[in-house]
Structure 1
Amino acid sequence: MSNNELDSSIGSTLVTRVTDNTDVPIRSLYAIQPIVLIFFRRFGCQLCRSYALKLSNELHSILKKNNIGFIGIGLEKFGLEEFQAGNYFSGDLYIDQGKKAYQILDLPYLGWIKGITTLFTRSTKLWNDETNKMGVQGNLKGDGFQLGATYVVGPKDGKIWLAHPQKDYGDHPSIDSIVKVLRDNIPEFRE
């Protein structure tokens, strides 16, 4: 995606709000406040679960204090109940049935060969070590080859302040980099 506004690419794409099973356009998620938007690979992935937990534990209170939305989007309902029961993510969850937003954003789909070799990249190994230290478990059910992304999006027009599509399973932006982007774009930001 070359455009610097989320609105022009996926703003009208519908996602399903998990709490009430209502379809809403993605643009409604950032219409009145900035958001940190996570596209999860899959809800059963232990690396996704540990990333969600780390963000929830270390970032969510800062977001709440600054009235910044915390949104997670998954590509399928498969594994959602277990993800919610584990309290991995403290934000609002949505489902992108059919991976429409993933496709529009051109988030990589690895396939078998690249999917297996990605298990051995440095960042995947490091994040796996971190995940094991956290004691987070997962499963192999569902679509395991779709990569996700982290975005920080400004209010109203959906200007992208940070775009971090994953290059491999363990590739995530640091919490410090997310906080820096928010601090740089929100004059009254408080940590």
Structure 2
Amino acid sequence: MSNSHTSSPSHLNNVVGDTLITRAVDNTQVPINTIYENQPAVIIFFRRFGCQLCRSYALKLSNELMPTLKANNVAFVGIGLEKFGLEEFMKEGYFKGDLYVDEGKKAYKQLGFTDLGWFRGITTLFTKSTRDWNAETTKMGVGGNLKGDGFQLGGTYIVGRKTGEVWLSHPQKDYGDHPEVSQMLDILKEKLPSFKSV
């Protein structure tokens, strides 16, 4: 298992498998394990649908990663912590995978994602990775807003099918902390012998 941070489950089933999330397209509730039941998955836990850094990360992955995932039958899934801003996020096409909402932040809490609080939330704006990602976001021309839960961090997971064996665990340390697309592709190539880049 490739692990960017110290504490991570070895399999998502052990921690959040039965946790219910709401599918954006039809508003039905399903357990998280349905995401990776039949295929490996890249799962992004977004901080906030209105966050411009989340939007640019979603757009980058949609452009640079999703075509390869689709060609290799790997699910591409985004989970947010509230419905607030979801409609605009979908309408503007930032994320081209399947979207869900974890109302009440159940999985966020179970996976131990950090809620920064007011003071750390403000100071985190000035970390190098946040400043770097903000510059990238500006170059991409992606905007956002400040509505909703602004201090909850998310994360990126790559998991295997059935049990959700964790191949990559990357809980965010700050707003701009994301794994590189090249790292994600390398892990998928290592774990899936037939995996081909597009």
Q: Normalization by structure 2: what TM-score?
A: 0.96
Could you tell me which of 3, 27, 36 is aligned with 2:9?
3
Q: Secondary structure at the match of 1:16?
A: strand
**CA–CA distance in structure 2, aligned partners of residues 2 and 169 of structure 1:** 19
**CA–CA distance in structure 2, aligned partners of residues 162 and 133 of structure 1:** 28
**CA–CA distance in structure 1, aligned partners of residues 122 and 152 of structure 2:** 12
**CA–CA distance in structure 2, aligned partners of residues 121 and 2 of structure 1:** 24
2:42 matches 1:36: yes
> 1:79-98, aligned counterparts within 5 Å?
79-98=85-104
Kindly state the Cα deviation for residue 157 of structure 1 after the two structures are TM-superposed: 1.1
Q: Which residue of 2 aligns with 1:129?
A: 135
**CA–CA distance in structure 1, aligned partners of residues 171 and 39 of structure 2:** 22
Kindly state the Cα deviation for residue 32 of structure 1 after the two structures are TM-superposed: 0.4
Q: In 1, are the aligned partners of 2:48 and 2:81 still within 8 Å (CA)? A: yes
Sequence identity of aligned pairs in percent? 63
User: Following TM superposition, where does structure 1 have runs of at least 4 consecutive aligned residues deviating by more than 3 angstroms?
Assistant: none
Q: How large is the Cα RMSD of the aligned pairs?
A: 0.6
Kindly state the Cα deviation for residue 107 of structure 1 after the two structures are TM-superposed: 0.2
Q: Secondary structure at the match of 1:10?
A: coil
Matched length: 191
Residue-by-residue CA offset, 1:82-136 (whole Å, 9 max, x unaligned): 1111100000000000000000000000000000000000000000000000000
Unpaired stretches in structure 2, ≥5 consecutive residues: 1-6
**CA–CA distance in structure 2, aligned partners of residues 35 and 175 of structure 1:** 14
**CA–CA distance in structure 2, aligned partners of residues 14 and 132 of structure 1:** 35
Q: What code does the residue aligned with 1:100 have?
A: K
Q: Normalization by structure 1: what TM-score?
A: 0.99
Q: Which residue of 2 aligns with 1:57?
A: 63
Q: What code does the residue aligned with 1:146 have?
A: Q
Kindly state the Cα deviation for residue 17 of structure 1 after the two structures are TM-superposed: 0.4
Kindly state the Cα deviation for residue 3 of structure 1 after the two structures are TM-superposed: 2.5
2:119 matches 1:113: yes
Residue-by-residue CA offset, 1:9-66 (whole Å, 9 max, x unaligned): 0000000001111100000100000000000000000000000000000000000000
